[in-house]
């Protein structure tokens, strides 16, 4: 029996260009919104004091492959020498079901999440933005920098992490890699008050800042917590925002950022939109002048499926 | 990075003894019924004219591993040189989430399904049974023979497949392997009318026989179809049976054998029991004299998790 093809982290990073990632993410949202993809609600469990495990199957009509991403998450991991998020995409032939490939998806998860935020930012943010604010300086934050620069001409990036060494290194590294001015900030508030676009990419379980501090007209991408009890933004920010999510069913089942204000009565079930729906029907909703827009994504299996299908088509099958 | 340990079909078959399998299956049901295991409802999708894909995570409290089985099913496959069911169990460390092992689970799926039927048969069937009837002669049917012989002293096995060559070979092979008389039957009705225990292990989408033919007191294990539109037994058989399923939520979401009679109004939502619950509380329900008992299983992730954890603990980790 052939071993399935393995596409490792290095190949993923080399093969997935930022522009293509954004195109693939947009395609995934549009095809899902048009009813041309299957993305059943993912299933997850949380081991008490251990890993949360998400199993995420998806298929795009007409594709050669069907895939299941399995993501494992434990924010306590860094002290144990494993990343806080690990993911693998298992890729099968969509007709016979036999296994074709396994894609190491730690980087892919960050790249597709960043691409997804870029699609949302391109749709929802003002056309001219000077400052991008990033809270969190991990793998997700890093992946967001080139994706955000692809959709808006930012001249400045402000970054915050609780650890001063992390935020200094993150800013220095951006300054070296991209032609943009990058500065560390010593509080999240300083980032929030000065940015027209925000990226929240942390492991936080509780809101990172007071929602009243976000300037009117700001677009916020929140990509951290995707479990019912955890969130990065408070109910005030949610209730003053045009709220867009990557998946309404998924938001209702597992995004604390949405569920907690809903349970408190601060927003209603009808108060939010799905990104793909707005891409296909752009007039359905738009940010009122001065309103904030908030894109909350917890990660959609169909994005993983589209990215994996693309990668498998790029890597010639080796004989073994 | 270490490659995860691979446990292949050959090792699985060699390592999983029938008696241990039955013990493991019983343990899985009991621990789940006691609330000591996590077995969220599995997620599945069906590619139009292609494979159905099931992703099944589960975890037993205190175990070192958490696992996700991915099963792919296409009854049209045999003509294309792939089996109609293929499955892999991906095994992760329950604390950190890093991948520990991959278990090829085509045989394991058959072995744990047979073990599960054995647990149900041991609980529900009469104590002295002479004839075991098997409809279907594939991998699942084969795995059921030793499992059934472990819990009841059958003296005769009757087997039916639509293909005369298959049923003849199946019976001949059983006769050579086990000390039991084995005969092919040329209709499913001949099997049904003469057996005290039945195993239905086919890819059929429609009932295999008229439910009135099953003799009073018979115990039936139906392990085939687990999709909402497909079934092996008719509504008459279901309504005259003490109906026990491996999982009530799973039965309600995807077992045609249960859903179709429920939709027709032939049984109510409260008319069936869960195997684990009956193992823990044996007095909750029992077969009335002359009633038929029917165990319908579609396969439970927690069984796969228990089997995979057992295998991983048996195979020493190789260094690479």
Q: Point out the residue among A51, A73, A92 whose CB comes nearest to the CB of B53.
A: A92
Please say if the pLDDT value at position B317 is more than 70: no
pLDDT one-digit tens code per residue, A290-311:
799 999 999 999 999 999 999 9
Residues of A whose CB is below 8 A from B38? 45-47
Output phi, psi for A124, to 5 deg.
Answer: -105, -30
Name the closest residue on chain B to residue A68, using Cα atoms: B55
Please say if the pLDDT value at position B135 is more than 70: yes
Please say if the pLDDT value at position A138 is more than 90: yes
Distance from CA of A251 to the nearest CA of B (A): 17
Distance from CA of A134 to the nearest CA of B (A): 27
- Report pLDDT for B2: 61
- The verdict on a CB contact (< 8 Å) between A40 and B44 is yes
Could you tell me the end-to-end alpha-carbon distance of chain A, in angstroms, rounded to an integer?
A: 9
Q: What is the average per-residue pLDDT within B71-98?
A: 91
Assign 3-class secondary structure to B154-221.
CCEEEEECCCHHHHHHHHHHHHHHCCCEEEECCCHHHHHHHCCEEEECCCCCCCCCCHHHCCCCCEEE
- Report pLDDT for B319: 41
Q: What is the average per-residue pLDDT within B73-101?
A: 91
Candidates B52, B72, B78, B29; CA nearest to B230 is B52
- Indicate the pLDDT class of residue B77, thresholds 50, 70 and 90: confident
Rounded-to-integer distance, Cα A57 and Cα A89, Å? 9
**Tokens coding B96:** 């950190």
In total, the C-beta contacts within 8 angstroms joining chain A to chain B are 140
pLDDT one-digit tens code per residue, A68-83:
999 999 988 876 689 8
Task: Choose the mutation target among A47, A85, A87 for the interface with B, i.e. most B CBs under 10 Å.
Answer: A47
- The verdict on a CB contact (< 8 Å) between A44 and B59 is no
Please say if the pLDDT value at position A3 is more than 80: no
Rounded-to-integer distance, Cα B257 and Cα B241, Å? 12
- Report pLDDT for A271: 86
Q: What is the average per-residue pLDDT within A209-215?
A: 97
Q: What would the DSSP string read from start to end of B122-143?
A: HHHS-S---EEEEE--SHHHHH
Please say if the pLDDT value at position A319 is more than 50: no
Task: Choose the mutation target among B5, B97, B99, B203 for the interface with A, i.e. most A CBs under 10 Å.
Answer: B97
Please say if the pLDDT value at position A226 is more than 90: no
- The verdict on a CB contact (< 8 Å) between B95 and A47 is yes
pLDDT one-digit tens code per residue, B145-202:
999 999 999 999 999 999 999 999 999 999 999 999 999 999 999 999 999 999 999 9
**Tokens coding A121:** 């930012």
Q: What is the average per-residue pLDDT within A238-256?
A: 95
Rounded-to-integer distance, Cα B306 and Cα A62, Å? 36
Superfamily of domain B115-300: NAD(P)-binding Rossmann-like Domain (3.40.50.720)
Name the closest residue on chain B to residue A38, using Cα atoms: B45
Rounded-to-integer distance, Cα A56 and Cα A40, Å? 8
Name the closest residue on chain A to residue B106, using Cα atoms: A98
Candidates B28, B10, B11, B9; CA nearest to B297 is B28
Residue with tokens 């020498």: A81
Please say if the pLDDT value at position B226 is more than 90: no
The answer to whether the Cα torsion of A63, A66, A72, A73 is positive or negative is: positive
Same fold yes or no, B5-108+302-314 and B115-300: no
Burial of B156 (0-12, 13-18, 19+ CB in 10 A): middle
- Indicate the pLDDT class of residue A17, thresholds 50, 70 and 90: very high
> Are the CB atoms for B157 and B180 separated by under 8 Å?
yes
Looking from the CA of B208 toward its CB, the CA atoms found within 13 Å total 31
Distance from CA of A64 to the nearest CA of B (A): 10
Distance from CA of A45 to the nearest CA of B (A): 7
- C-alpha distances out from residue B39 to A17, B68, B247, Å: 38, 10, 10
Looking from the CA of A87 toward its CB, the CA atoms found within 13 Å total 25
Please, what is the Cα angle at A123 between A250 and A171, to 5 degrees?
Answer: 90
- Report pLDDT for B55: 98
Q: Helices B301-314 and B18-33: crossing angle, nearest 10°?
A: 130
pLDDT one-digit tens code per residue, A149-167:
999 999 999 999 999 999 9
Output phi, psi for A119, to 5 deg.
Answer: -60, -45
Q: What is the average per-residue pLDDT within A20-38?
A: 98
Across chain B, what does the average pLDDT equal? Answer: 94
Please, what is the Cα angle at B4 between B65 and B114, to 5 degrees?
Answer: 55
Name the closest residue on chain A to residue B81, using Cα atoms: A96
Domain spanning A117-299: CATH 3.40.50.620: no
- Indicate the pLDDT class of residue B79, thresholds 50, 70 and 90: low
Task: Choose the mutation target among A73, A97, A101, A105 for the interface with B, i.e. most B CBs under 10 Å.
Answer: A97
Across chain A, what does the average pLDDT equal? Answer: 94
- The verdict on a CB contact (< 8 Å) between B95 and A51 is yes
Residues of B whose CB is below 8 A from A61? 48
Please say if the pLDDT value at position B320 is more than 60: no
- Report pLDDT for A81: 84
Distance from CA of A96 to the nearest CA of B (A): 6
Rounded-to-integer distance, Cα A111 and Cα A140, Å? 8
Burial of B166 (0-12, 13-18, 19+ CB in 10 A): middle
- Indicate the pLDDT class of residue A239, thresholds 50, 70 and 90: very high
- Indicate the pLDDT class of residue A317, thresholds 50, 70 and 90: low
Listed in sequence order, the residues at least 6 apart from B274 whose beta carbon sits closer than 8 Å to its beta carbon are B33, B244, B245, B246, B247, B248
H or E, element range at A242: strand A241-245
> Are the CB atoms for A105 and A304 separated by under 8 Å?
yes
Residues of A whose CB is below 8 A from B90? 70, 88, 90
Candidates B204, B72, B228, B235; CA nearest to B136 is B204
Rounded-to-integer distance, Cα B84 and Cα B260, Å? 24
User: Which ipTM did the prediction report?
Assistant: 0.88
- The verdict on a CB contact (< 8 Å) between B95 and A50 is yes
- Starting at the earlier edge strand, list the strands of the sheet with B156-160: B181-184, B156-160, B131-135, B197-200, B219-222, B292-296, B241-245, B272-274
Please say if the pLDDT value at position A320 is more than 60: no
Superfamily of domain A5-108+302-314: ornithine cyclodeaminase, domain 1 (3.30.1780.10)
Domain boundaries along the sequence of chain A? 5-108+302-314, 117-299
Cross-strand bridge partners of residue A244: A273, A295
pTM of the predicted structure, to 2 decimals: 0.90
Strand pairing report for B131-135 and B156-160: parallel
- Report pLDDT for B289: 79
Q: Helices A139-151 and A18-33: crossing angle, nearest 10°?
A: 90
Please say if the pLDDT value at position B3 is more than 80: no
- The verdict on a CB contact (< 8 Å) between B43 and A58 is no
Q: What percent of chain A has pLDDT over 70?
A: 98
Listed in sequence order, the residues at least 6 apart from B60 whose beta carbon sits closer than 8 Å to its beta carbon are B28, B31, B36, B37, B38, B302, B305, B306, B309
**Chain B residues whose C-beta sits inside 8 Å of any chain A C-beta:** 38, 40-53, 55-59, 61, 66, 68, 70, 72-74, 77, 80, 82, 86, 88, 90, 92-99
- The verdict on a CB contact (< 8 Å) between A55 and B55 is yes
Distance from CA of A291 to the nearest CA of B (A): 38
H or E, element range at A18: helix A18-33
Please say if the pLDDT value at position B285 is more than 60: yes
- C-alpha distances out from residue B146 to B18, B27, B168, B173, B179, Å: 7, 19, 18, 12, 11
């Amino acid at each position: 029996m052939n071993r399935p093809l393995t596409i490792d982290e290095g190949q993923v990073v080399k093969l997935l260009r930022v522009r293509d990632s954004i195109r693939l993410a947009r395609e995934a949202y549009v095809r899902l919104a048009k009813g041309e993809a299957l993305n059943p609600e993912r299933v997850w469990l949380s081991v008490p004091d251990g890993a949360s495990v998400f199993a995420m199957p998806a298929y795009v009509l007409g594709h050669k492959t069907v895939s299941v991403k399995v993501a494992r998450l434990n924010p306590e991991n860094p002290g144990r020498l494993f990343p806080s998020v690990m993911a693998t995409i298992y890729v099968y032939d969509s007709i016979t079901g036999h296994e074709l490939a396994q894609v190491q998806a730690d980087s892919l998860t960050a790249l597709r999440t960043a691409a997804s935020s870029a699609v949302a930012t391109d749709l929802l943010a003002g056309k001219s933005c000077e400052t991008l604010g990033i809270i969190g300086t991990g793998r997700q934050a890093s992946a967001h920098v080139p994706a955000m620069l692809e959709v808006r001409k930012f001249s400045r990036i402000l970054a915050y992490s609780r650890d001063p060494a992390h935020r200094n290194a993150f800013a220095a590294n951006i300054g070296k890699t991209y032609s943009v001015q990058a500065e560390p900030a010593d509080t999240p508030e300083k980032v929030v008050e000065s940015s027209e676009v925000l990226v929240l990419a942390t492991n936080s379980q509780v809101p990172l800042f007071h929602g009243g501090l976000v300037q009117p007209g700001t677009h916020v991408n929140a990509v951290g917590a995707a479990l019912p009890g955890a969130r990065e933004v408070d109910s005030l920010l949610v209730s003053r925002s045009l709220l867009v999510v990557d998946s309404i069913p998924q938001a209702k089942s597992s995004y604390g950022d949405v569920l907690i204000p809903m349970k408190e009565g601060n927003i209603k079930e009808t108060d939010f939109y799905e990104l793909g729906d707005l891409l296909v029907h752009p007039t359905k909703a738009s940010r009122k002048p001065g309103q904030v827009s908030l894109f909350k994504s917890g990660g959609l299996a169909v994005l993983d499926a589209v990215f994996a299908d693309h990668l498998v088509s790029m890597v010639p099958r080796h004989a073994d």
